[in-house]
Structure 1
């Protein structure tokens, strides 16, 4: 399978933050931002694989600055690394005070997607290759993130197995 550059998967979205999107502090709900992140990241993954994808994990979601009502957010995502059927997608979110023109990175995240066939079974994805310095840094550090993800998933499975649900109220 022929490789593709990281840039071939880039997906972007800009949206304005309205009052219903915010909490009592006047800042964007974290869950609302996570929905935007998953949306844009999945587009990047689909662009790379040209197959349907499912979200396998969301990790390293770092909230670095508040996003205020009336500001915009621009979300950029691209595939940074691939394995057999999975893709790591890096997401950067920039908030902008549109009246002042001040911009800052307010969030970064890594998500993993798996390409699937019509039966929902994993299918191979093309390799990805970096071109820019940023892409190269993310590509080179991806195997360590993948290892950490696998270890975290294994710990989560162990915890889930230890939880015994007694009845419908034990949730």
Structure 2
């Protein structure tokens, strides 16, 4: 299987935010932005792998700045890391007030996508070619994210929540235990 450059996965979409996209406070609904992020993650991963892809996980979605009605939202995505059948797609969301030209970074996130065949089985994706230090940085950050997830999963599997030490540690929180 021939390796592909990160540029083979790059996607940019822009959309004008409408009143129908707002939440009860009049800002653009976070769920709508998540939907756009999932769409661009799918497009980026599918473009790179040349196959159908599904979302396996979404890592750390921080809403940094609110988005207003009338702003132009631009999402940029690229594959930052590949495994055997999985890809980590980095996504950056910015909004622009098209009257003033003010640009805000609103969100960055990582979506793990998995390539599938027509029967739903995982398929191997091409190796990734890193062409510059920015791509190397993004790859290393994604590899670090994977290592942290594995460490977290191992901790969750082995941690005894019912031990006297664990229960004693809960006293620092604003809770009342009634066991």
**1:134: how far off?**
2.4
Would you say the 8 A contact 1:80–1:130 is kept in 2? Answer: no
For residue 65 of structure 1, report the CA deviation from its aligned partner: 0.8
Relative distance call for 1:153 and 1:27 in structure 2 (3 A) is farther
Q: Normalized against structure 2, the TM-score is what?
A: 0.82
Q: In the alignment, what sits opposite 1:44?
A: 44
Distance (Å, rounded) in 2 between the aligned partners of 1:157 and 1:56: 20
For the 8 Å contact 1:10–1:79, the answer to whether it is kept is yes
Say yes or no: does 1:127 pair with 2:127. yes
Distance across 2 between alignment mates of 1:17 and 1:109: 20
- Deviation at residue 58 of structure 1 after TM alignment: 0.5
- Give the TM-score taking structure 1 as reference length: 0.86
Rounded Cα–Cα distance in structure 1 between residues aligned with 2:70 and 2:110? 26
Gaps of 5+ in 2: 159-179
Pairing 1:24–2:16 present: no
- Corresponding residue pairs, total: 158
Whole-angstrom distance in 2 between the partners of 1:11 and 1:134: 17
Separation (CA, whole Å) in 2 of partners of 1:28 and 1:157: 38
Residue 61 of structure 1: CA displacement?
1.3
Structure with bigger gyration radius: 2
**Runs of at least 5 residues in structure 1 that lack an aligned partner in the other structure:** 159-171
Q: How does 1:88-99 map to 2 (within 5 A)?
A: 88-99=88-99
Q: Give the RMSD, CA atoms, in angstroms.
A: 1.8
